Amino acid sequence: MRTQVGIVGAGPAGLLLAHLLALEGVESVVLESRSREAVEQTIRAGVLEQGTVDLLDSTGVGERMRREGALHRGIELRFGGRGHRIDFPSLTGGRAIMLYPQHEVLKDLIAARLAAGGDLRFEVADVAVEEATSDRPRLRFNEGGQARALDCEVVAGCDGFWGVCRDAIPEGRRTAYAREYPFAWFGILAEAPPSSDELIYCSSERGFALVSTRSPTVQRLYFQCDPDDHEDNWPDDRIWEELQARLQTRDGWTLTEGPIFQKGIVGMRSFVCEPMQHGRLFLAGDAAHIVPPTGAKGLNLAAADVVVLARGLVELFRSGAGGRLEAYSATCLRRVWRTEHFSWWMTSMLHRFPGDDPFQHRLQLAQLEYVASSEAAATTLAENYVGLPIGDG
């Protein structure tokens, strides 16, 4: 078997890359270890930047998002028992964000690829990258008990943080930059109408909490917890009590409660692998970098990577020129590090760090007050949150 681009992973990065390439007449095969159902049902991100929304729209996969997603023109920063709205359009020249779940984006991309006759293979095992530095890298894998080999011109490692592609870059040829945070997020889905029209990022003495939504009947809520904590320690009553305590305001706002039908704990880390390329192997998305979810950036950063990668690949296959592809890692890393900083900054500003002293709390509060009261500071948050322009300029 052979193809132009062998793509490992059918997450946002892999599926969007296959879609963008197909629109430009470049063929690919996507190899995914999980089942289609598992991919389409895993609950993760919810926030799409303006540039990601525009990208899905302009490439023909935005129709359901436009219908079912919710446009948000701001967020609330809540601290000291008071809310402070950050208005995106007025601070960013009219930009906003869209609440539309990641697994719905994936359903739309899978449907579009299959309708276009794309080659997506689910439930493959033992994927291995071979000869990444030759001009014919190969993917070996196991499909339905059969050993297979796929000869490629380029391999795209879109297999997430726990995938195999990053390790195909020899250790001496890559540098990892990492930070673990001393807390995690406890996330729930609850059958209850939204408590707020917009997301609420709340810093309280008991720790961080986030109010998000999924639909007119489902709320997505998170609160900071110990990374070693366990879902079993949190019966529903205790979860609501904790969220109510953290989100309490002085103006009578109430959090609507309802049956909780999903609970999970998400670790928090920052991570960057440099470079994002080795020979003809290109890493994109979580395979190359991780951000803590506080800035809602992971999926969006994956999308930004594959836009740059697709442009480079199209140039290569059209004209044989490798200039854009050679610049891939450096081009992406500029945005990656900006986004790493933003996600770290939001995380540091809003969470309680074990061992912090009152001086540190006062600094956090001063920073929050500055963002809430200065147009310059609010603009910094807003322009990063709605997202910088995508592409390599």
Contacts 24+ apart (CB under 8 A), 160-164: 160/9, 160/11, 160/285, 160/286, 160/287, 161/271, 161/286, 161/287, 161/290, 163/8, 163/9, 163/287, 164/8, 164/127, 164/128, 164/129
The residue with tokens 């997505």 is 220
Q: Among the options 19, 72, 289, 351, which is catalytic?
A: 72
Q: Which is nearer to ligand PHB, 46 or 157 (CB)?
A: 46
Query: Is 300 one of the binding residues for ligand RFL (CB under 6 A)?
Result: yes
- Report, in this order, helix, strand and coil percent for the chain, each rounded to 5: 40, 30, 30
Query: Torsions phi, psi of 370, nearest 5?
Result: -65, -45
Give the pair of three-digit tokens for residue 385: 């949150």
- The active-site residue, picked from 100, 137, 194, 201, is 201
Nearest-angstrom CA–CA distance, 68 and 72 = 13
Choosing among ligand PHB, ligand RFL, none, which partner's interface includes residue 220 (Cβ < 5 to 8 Å by kind)? Answer: ligand PHB
CA-angle at 108, arms to 191 and 318, nearest 5°:
150
- Residue 266 Cβ, how far from ligand RFL at the closest point, in Å? 4
Choosing from 4, 27, 34, 231, the residue that interacts with ligand RFL (CB under 6 A) is 34
Residue nearest to ligand PHB (CB): 46
Structure tokens given for 250: 């002085």
Name which of residues 267 to 296 contact ligand RFL (CB under 6 A): 285-286, 293, 296
Q: Is 69 in the site for ligand RFL (CB under 6 A)?
A: no
Non-local CB neighbours of 102 within 8 Å, separated by 6+ positions: 12, 42, 43, 44, 45, 46, 299
Residue 285's binding partner, choosing from ligand RFL, ligand PHB, none, with beta-carbon cut-off 5 to 8 A by kind?
Answer: ligand RFL
297 given a catalytic annotation: yes
Q: Using CB under 6 A, which of the segments 154-162, 270-278, 347-355, 381-389 binds ligand RFL? A: 154-162
- Asked about 354 being catalytic, the answer comes back as no
Give contact residues for ligand RFL (rule: CB under 6 A).
8-14, 31-34, 39, 44-47, 102, 127, 158-160, 163-164, 187, 266, 285-286, 293, 296-300, 302
Give contact residues for ligand PHB (rule: CB under 6 A).
45-47, 199, 212, 220, 293-294, 296
> Active-site positions?
72, 201, 293, 297, 385
